[in-house]
Amino acid sequence: MTDDLFALEGTPRWTQTLAPGAVVLRGFAAECAPTLMQMIDQLTRVAPFRQMTTPGGFVMSAAMSNCGSLGWVTDALGYRYTSHDPLTGVPWP
């Protein structure tokens, strides 16, 4: 059985070490989860999740979005960080 990362009710705050330097902070975002989800929804309306294409022409299996001053992208030009969405030319939200 695996733990539900998104279970909110009755979740005490505790940490779970996955590996050296990798920790899950269980329950730490439970109180602000509705606000976080609303903000993610607003961000992804501007910069929708998409499956990017690698320089070799392969479509990535994971869909992603970006926000902030720089966003990670990949396309025929390579892997890089950019301040603007390469599909729309608009700055990341």
* The predicted structure's pLDDT at residue 4: 62
Per-position pLDDT tens, the chain of length 93: 556 655 555 667 888 899 999 999 888 888 888 999 999 999 999 999 999 999 999 999 999 999 999 999 999 999 999 999 988 999 999
Tell me the C-alpha to C-alpha distance, in Å, between residue 23 and each of 16, 33, 50, 61, 92: 6, 19, 27, 24, 28
Q: Are residues 41 and 55 in the same domain?
A: no
Q: Are residues 20 and 58 in the same domain?
A: no
Can you give the pTM of this predicted structure?
0.67
How many C-beta neighbours within 10 Å does residue 73 have? 21
Q: Are residues 78 and 42 in the same domain?
A: no
* The predicted structure's pLDDT at residue 38: 95
Domain that holds residue 32: 1-46
* The predicted structure's pLDDT at residue 14: 83
Domain count of the chain?
2
Q: Are residues 69 and 40 in the same domain?
A: no
